[in-house]
């Protein structure tokens, strides 16, 4: 097969919580450089899928591979180090730190400088700090809030706090950036700006996984879409295929497939 290689492969993943099968033999991949949408009605298993990819949950069976490496049973920080970063549905910033500091915390998770270098401010630490400050400002520029780098995170508008969350995830230097409902609480104008930002992030070389309820946003920004319902993959394709897929329409309208077609 030619074309972009699979960066992340979800291979036949099942996860059960007691009697509930939250994911049932789910298989799909995320290709390098694409924006993949993961959608489905409430309770379909999207967040669970995210949590399996990022090491929060362990799959009952099946495998997740990233860049060819099996992620199953790896700890969360190891997965971050391999190059997967995420944002959360609920904003999780350090509100009493500045915007820049919030991004630097993300970069530090990846820093190669040891504890003693930092404690005694050895030259290696100072050089690394200067480089990570510069990189953090670049990232803030990409997400559009560089001018506000000195302000407390709590002073930012809701929309800018979401941008900062994305910046902080980018600062860990990921290959894959997973966005969990980034448009929650946004008005239509903010959603349009978010679409531009997601495209820009991809153009900067990141691969993006997007979980999002807003169909217009998902259809407008993704290259491909995977649809889950009751823990099963019911469709996969480019946005125009998904828009016209009777099973997807039925899942969203909550009617039988025959009735929807
Ligand atoms: N830790 C857990 N323990 C038990 N059940 C869970 C757990 N996490 C998720 N579930 C269940 O798994 C199913 C899938 O939930 P999940 O949160 O992944 O869906 P979702 O598609 O992300 O939904 P939403 O759009 O509402 O966020 C639900 O029935 C949920 O109650």
Q: How confident is the model at residue 255 (pLDDT cuts 50, 70, 90)?
A: low
Gap between the Cα atoms of 103 and 138, Å rounded: 11
- Residue 4, pLDDT > 60, answer yes
- Residue 34, pLDDT > 90, answer yes
Q: How remote is the CA of residue 47 from the centroid of ligand 1, in Å?
A: 7
Gap between the Cα atoms of 50 and 170, Å rounded: 17
Residues 212-229 have pLDDT tens digits of 888 889 999 999 999 999
- Residue 260, pLDDT > 60, answer no
Q: How remote is the CA of residue 176 from the centroid of ligand 1, in Å?
A: 22
Residues 121-170 have pLDDT tens digits of 666 666 677 788 899 999 999 999 999 999 999 999 999 999 999 999 99
Portions of the chain given CATH number 3.40.50.300: 29-83+174-261
Q: What is the mean pLDDT of residues 66-77?
A: 86
The closest residue, in CA terms, to atom 17 on ligand 1 is 47
- Residue 16, pLDDT > 70, answer yes
Gap between the Cα atoms of 189 and 87, Å rounded: 21
Which of 38, 41, 46, 48 has the most ligand 1 atoms within 8 A of CB, as the residue to mutate? Answer: 48
Which of 20, 50, 58 has the most ligand 1 atoms within 8 A of CB, as the residue to mutate? Answer: 20
Give pLDDT, residue 61: 95
Q: What is the pTM of this model?
A: 0.87
Q: Is the dihedral of CA 200, 97, 120, 81 positive or negative?
A: negative
Q: How remote is the CA of residue 81 from the centroid of ligand 1, in Å?
A: 26
Give pLDDT, residue 124: 62
In the chain, alpha helices (H) = 46-53, 76-82, 99-108, 115-119, 123-143, 158-170, 188-203, 215-221, 239-243, 246-253, 257-260
Q: What is the maximum span of the chain, computed from C-alpha positions, in angstroms?
A: 70
Lowest mean pLDDT among 30-39, 69-78, 137-146, 172-181: 69-78
Is 3.40.50.300 the CATH classification of the domain at 29-83+174-261?
Answer: yes
Gap between the Cα atoms of 159 and 91, Å rounded: 10
Q: How remote is the CA of residue 21 from the centroid of ligand 1, in Å?
A: 10
Give pLDDT, residue 56: 86
Lowest mean pLDDT among 63-67, 163-167, 248-252: 248-252
Q: How confident is the model at residue 89 (pLDDT cuts 50, 70, 90)?
A: confident
């Amino acid at each position: 097969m030619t074309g972009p290689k699979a960066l992340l492969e979800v291979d036949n993943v099942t996860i059960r919580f007691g009697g509930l099968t939250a994911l049932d033999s789910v298989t799909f991949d995320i290709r390098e450089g694409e924006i993949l949408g993961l959608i489905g009605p409430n309770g379909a298993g999207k967040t669970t899928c995210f949590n399996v990819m990022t090491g929060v949950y362990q799959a009952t069976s099946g495998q997740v591979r990233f860049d060819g490496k099996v992620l199953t049973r790896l700890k969360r920080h190891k997965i971050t180090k391999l190059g997967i970063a995420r944002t959360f549905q609920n904003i999780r910033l350090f509100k009493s730190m500045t915007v820049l500091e919030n991004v630097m915390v993300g970069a530090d998770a990846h820093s190669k400088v040891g504890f003693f270098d930092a404690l005694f401010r050895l030259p290696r630490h100072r050089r690394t700090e200067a480089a990570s400050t510069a990189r953090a400002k670049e990232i803030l520029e990409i997400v559009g809030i560089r001018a506000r780098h000195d302000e407390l995170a709590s002073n930012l508008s809701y929309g800018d706090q979401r941008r900062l969350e994305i910046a902080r995830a980018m600062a860990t230097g990921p290959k894959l950036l997973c966005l969990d409902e980034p448009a929650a609480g946004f008005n239509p104008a903010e959603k349009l700006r978010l679409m531009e930002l997601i495209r820009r992030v991809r153009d900067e070389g990141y691969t993006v996984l997007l979980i999002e309820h807003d169909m217009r946003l998902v259809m407008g920004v993704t290259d491909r879409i995977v649809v889950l319902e009751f823990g099963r993959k019911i469709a996969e394709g480019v946005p125009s295929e998904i828009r016209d897929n009777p099973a997807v329409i039925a899942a969203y309208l909550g009617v039988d497939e025959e009735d929807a077609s």
